[in-house]
Structure 1
Amino acid sequence: MDPLNKIKSMTSDIGIYQHGKLNNPAPEFGYALEDQARALIIADRFGDKKLKDIYLNFIFRAQREDGLLYHFFYEDNNGQFKSEEYNCKSNITEAYGLTIWSLLATGNIKNDKIKNTVEKLIKEASGWTSIRAISSTLLGLASLDREHSLESELKTKLHNFCFETYSDDWVWFENYLVYANALIPWTLWEICLNRKCKASFEIARKTTRFLIEKCQENDVPAPIGNKGWYFKGREKALYDEQPIDAAYMVCCLEKAYHATEDKFYLDWAEKWYRWFFGNNINNISLIDKNFACYDGLTPEGVNLNQGAESNICFLMAYLAARRLGIAK
């Protein structure tokens, strides 16, 4: 079975649809920039040029007059591509960070138009405070053969986030655990591997172990629930658990294992990959017979919708697990 079948079914000539209704795409909800960015990485890793060109072209067409990018897009009644009138500002830097990562990591910087877009986004990144936007940007920069001038600045920001909130019982970058947490230590492991940074190694090691400890129930992987999250000193929410968190943990632990050769990380990478197949607090698989991923775990079972983020992130985990030799 082609692992790309699901995202192919969700992809139009414009890009990958943001949401799904059950196992069908939901065109009425349009497209999100971050989905195209992550999907570009997947298409590149699988060597699917047709998909790669679609997602890359979406990013081309997302450009605003100021050189930055729109966040959300819809098709009008004539099937034409247009920007949403009111673009969301809250997470747009995260979408930009993912775009930098995808364009750099897939080697598209050689294209002049893309190079200009990346340079514009990187210039903006210097002023960002979003830890996830910074982390995604660093993943892109760390993929370059030579260290970019911004890399050291953003890496120091990431280190300082940890120093500012660190305590004996809370070894983390923020005073809360929310979504896509493992992206942050994953970034530092990548920097360790590519730049031989000892400070990043120590922070990555301590925060990864902290995250493993906090995101489990009796040795069973349990991402932080999005119905309340987990704030320092309070109870953590168990539901709803999201595939992005399990996927990023697998990717983080893959890098941790390569950096340390410690079997502890390999064992946990396998546990987290198996989260998708029933090694979770509900004992239910999130992967259907067509190798498509449901949108999350709920108190009642699974969220039966199958959106872009869930399926793209699952494929990230699948590729990492395959490289580790633990994939189903």
Structure 2
Amino acid sequence: MKKSQVHNQRSKPLVVFVSTFPPRQCGIGTYTHDLTIAIDELHSQLESRIIAMNVEELVSDRYPRKVLAQISEPKLADYQDVARQLNALPQVVLISVQHEFGIFGGEYGIYLLHFLELLTKPAIITFHTVLPSPSKQFLEVVRRLTNLVKGIIVMTRRSADILKEDYGISGDKIHTVPHGIHFLPYTDGVAPKKSLQLSNRFVLSTFGFLSRGKGIEYVIEALPQVVQRLPNLIYLVIGATHPTVLRDEGEEYRRMLMRKVYELGLASHVRFYNRYLPLKELLQFLQATDIYIATSLNPDHAVSGTLCYALGAGRPVISTAFAQAKEYVTEEVGALVDFRSPQAYAQAILALTQNNELRLQKGKHAYFRTRSMIWPNVAITYMRVFVQYLPGLNLEDKTLPPIKLAHLMHLSDSFGILQFANLAEPNPEFGYTVDDNARALVAVDLYFERTRRRSVLRLIETYLNFLQYAARPNLEKALAGKSTSRFFENYINSDRTFDTVRNDSENLEDANARGLSALARTSVTVGLPFVLRKRAWDLYQQGIAVVNNFVSPRAAAFFIQGLVYILSRRKDVQLSDLLRIHAERLLGLYGQSHDTDWEWFEDQLTYSNSVLSEALLLTYKLNKETKYWDIGKSTLDFLIAQTFNDKMYMPIGQGGWYRKGGQREHFDQQSEDTAAMVQTLKIMYTISKDEKYRKMMHKVFNWFLGDNVLGQIVYERNTGGCYDGIGKNYINLNQGAESTISYLIARLSL
């Protein structure tokens, strides 16, 4: 088979990327590898494939099956052959060219023009380099390229401005998508340093292919005055020599750097790693870094993946003032220095080494500011660009992530699940709640029903134990004949004492109803060992003997959920009466609040809104009385009208809610609302068999997967956690119990 012959055809629509690709060692290839993995993980409707650019005519048999064909950079016929073959494949719907002038043949990479001129498929081009003030010939090539594609992607605002101002390209065609980064948990660097045997060292690092344009010699020349004040400093120069440089001049540049190190007496302060590091090892070095040094000598350097990686690892950055750095390296995340200035490097390094608090703060700012750049978010943005030119492409068909309990377990100890987290780490300061442990119990019940994995029985027992502990004070009162308005104490401190102030000052109806509902759910969980089901049932019966009259609308709805769990499996006159009382209470609230423009139970939409409609739908499902169906459906349809637009689901923001006659709040969107709507729509679809509700259910779930106002992933597939909410400009990166459990319940409902 010729290297330019397209193979491995598939029935799914294909987006084909023209790029270098691993195992070829090239930054563009690494970028394309990471981007296509992210796209394939997110979207089930299509697949990505590669046309791999080779330096020479030799066919590589090391490419993965993802590579459809290869093009030899200097061979024009390859470009033409591959274009014709792509035209002949009906499943190829779009071509994405990852452009760098050095990887395409002909003067200024002009062979790519021949490829695009023959291509009949729509194409998008991503410019990894955009040079200002182009020569006449350079300008002509770029303009011809942009005329042959539907859209243009660049990675910085500056690159977009240059294309518009210096090349005269319409801004309507240009899309700015940042360079991607890999997810890393934030760390202070202690553990990575220990793993790399760098403990007690202050670590500077620079990584990437080595070449004379790196300017590393100026950092080395800055170090003598720095190590006088910081004798434990070490500078890591990480990366192999660029393959083209190695071919043309060998290791001359590296040898020059090493001579300089020895001449300056820095042998114990500079370490070279002359190899192309695997990703995992590279990221570990970044996490062990105290200050990252970006050393480019090219003022027009448009994009540095290494700079993006360093910021994404939460490292403060000292950088020369090249084009991207001037946009990314603000005072909040680091410092810019003059080109070729050892003195400037020395001053900047010393300024950060002498103020640890400032240095750590800059690193945290870098981490938080780059969350929109993790690869799944970049993939979402790419797909939003693609769909503009492929209107038939349905972005709602996303790949469901595997179900992971890792973060749920990380937040849980032998007593229960902690309420909050700092990023992904449990924060014991605020203790535990019945709300969260009840949610966790339901989530693990659902997981057990689906998987029958007995390993999670320990979690179920933990959350049951917690609810029993939370009920103990009021159960003792009830047994002693004393009155009490609640069964559960909601707030329990980290030392396992009850937070009496909060428990006595807040309305705990929601928490009590949620706890009882979770017990009801557990008592009928299919396949669960009898001893656990009986424990849940016994505690539930004790609970409804203490409290069984809920006034709060959501508490009434949660209570109804639990009643229906039980009554759908057994007859019970007392529970049937309680169901009717609470369902009628919701109907009464609806009668008081609704009018022709406001089909709702209250004068405002707040949190977990859909559970109110769901409670009536569940009641109808059980007893078939149409009044519950009518109001359940009309209120759900009203809620849908307030929270859906053509593109996405937008839950009511918790920053101000939505009062009748007022303006709805759009931000501080919460996972709990989203999970509740997924469950309600599932029940609505189960009852009605109306396909639109099933589609809406998946559309709501996609809120977790980036179909939201920020276009960013809310579920963190690396940890199995879920971020705590969506603000106007940012995502709350803490992964607490409520959000994580809400995601799990939503995922387990699909």
TM-score, reference length from structure 2: 0.41
SS at match of 1:20: strand
Whether the 8 Å contact between 1:217 and 1:281 is mirrored in structure 2 is: no
Cα distance in 2, alignment partners of residues 50 and 20 from structure 1: 22
Q: Deviation digits for residues 257-289 of structure 1, max 9, x if unmatched? A: 000000111111111010110111111110113
Gaps of 5+ in 1: 322-328
Q: Pick 1 or 2: higher relative contact order, CA cutoff 8 A, min separation 6.
A: 1
SS at match of 2:497: strand
* Equivalent AA in structure 2 for residue 184 of structure 1: L
Corresponding residue of 2:498: 83
SS at match of 1:220: coil
Cα distance in 2, alignment partners of residues 193 and 227 from structure 1: 34
SS at match of 2:742: helix
Please, what is the CA RMSD of the aligned residues? 1.6
Cα distance in 2, alignment partners of residues 304 and 161 from structure 1: 37
SS at match of 1:66: helix
SS at match of 1:27: strand
SS at match of 1:18: strand
* Equivalent AA in structure 2 for residue 142 of structure 1: V
Q: 1:129 to 1:115 in 2, by over 3 A?
A: closer
Cα distance in 1, alignment partners of residues 686 and 462 from structure 2: 32
Which residue of 400, 419, 427 maps to 1:18? 419
Corresponding residue of 1:66: 477
Q: Deviation digits for residues 165-217 of structure 1, max 9, x if unmatched? A: 11110000001001110111122222222232311111111011100100134
Does residue 110 in structure 1 map to residue 521 in structure 2? no
Corresponding residue of 1:92: 508
Q: If you compute each CA radius of gyration, which structure gives the higher value, 1 or 2?
A: 2
* Identical-residue share of aligned pairs (%): 29
Corresponding residue of 2:721: 292
Which residue of 127, 150, 153 maps to 2:581? 153
Cα distance in 2, alignment partners of residues 12 and 160 from structure 1: 42
* Equivalent AA in structure 1 for residue 534 of structure 2: K
Corresponding residue of 1:197: 625
SS at match of 1:83: coil
Deviation at residue 254 of structure 1 after TM alignment: 0.2
Whether the 8 Å contact between 1:239 and 1:298 is mirrored in structure 2 is: yes
SS at match of 1:257: helix
Cα distance in 1, alignment partners of residues 658 and 622 from structure 2: 32
Cα distance in 2, alignment partners of residues 273 and 319 from structure 1: 11
Q: 1:169 to 1:246 in 2, by over 3 A?
A: same
Deviation at residue 4 of structure 1 after TM alignment: 1.0
Cα distance in 1, alignment partners of residues 411 and 614 from structure 2: 28
SS at match of 2:500: coil
Corresponding residue of 1:325: none
Cα distance in 1, alignment partners of residues 667 and 514 from structure 2: 26
Does residue 29 in structure 1 map to residue 430 in structure 2? yes
Cα distance in 2, alignment partners of residues 264 and 2 from structure 1: 25
Does residue 135 in structure 1 map to residue 536 in structure 2? no
Task: Between 197-206 and 129-138, report the one with greater CA deviation.
Answer: 197-206
Whether the 8 Å contact between 2:403 and 2:744 is mirrored in structure 1 is: no
Cα distance in 2, alignment partners of residues 192 and 177 from structure 1: 23
Cα distance in 2, alignment partners of residues 135 and 278 from structure 1: 29
Q: 1:163 to 1:219 in 2, by over 3 A?
A: farther
The number of residue pairs the alignment matches comes to: 314
Corresponding residue of 1:324: none
Does residue 49 in structure 1 map to residue 466 in structure 2? no
TM-score, reference length from structure 1: 0.91
Does residue 317 in structure 1 map to residue 746 in structure 2? yes
Which residue of 698, 718, 721 maps to 1:270? 698
Matched ranges for 1:115-264 at <5 A = 115-121=540-546, 124-126=547-549, 128-144=550-566, 145-147=570-572, 148=575, 149-264=577-692
Deviation at residue 295 of structure 1 after TM alignment: 0.4
Gaps of 5+ in 2: 1-401, 449-455, 479-486, 524-531
Whether the 8 Å contact between 2:520 and 2:540 is mirrored in structure 1 is: no
Task: Between 160-169 and 249-258, report the one with greater CA deviation.
Answer: 160-169
Q: 1:280 to 1:304 in 2, by over 3 A?
A: same
Cα distance in 2, alignment partners of residues 226 and 249 from structure 1: 15
Q: Deviation digits for residues 24-83 of structure 1, max 9, x if unmatched? A: 11111100111111111111222221100000001111121324221111133xxxx221
* Equivalent AA in structure 2 for residue 41 of structure 1: V
SS at match of 2:721: coil
Deviation at residue 162 of structure 1 after TM alignment: 0.9
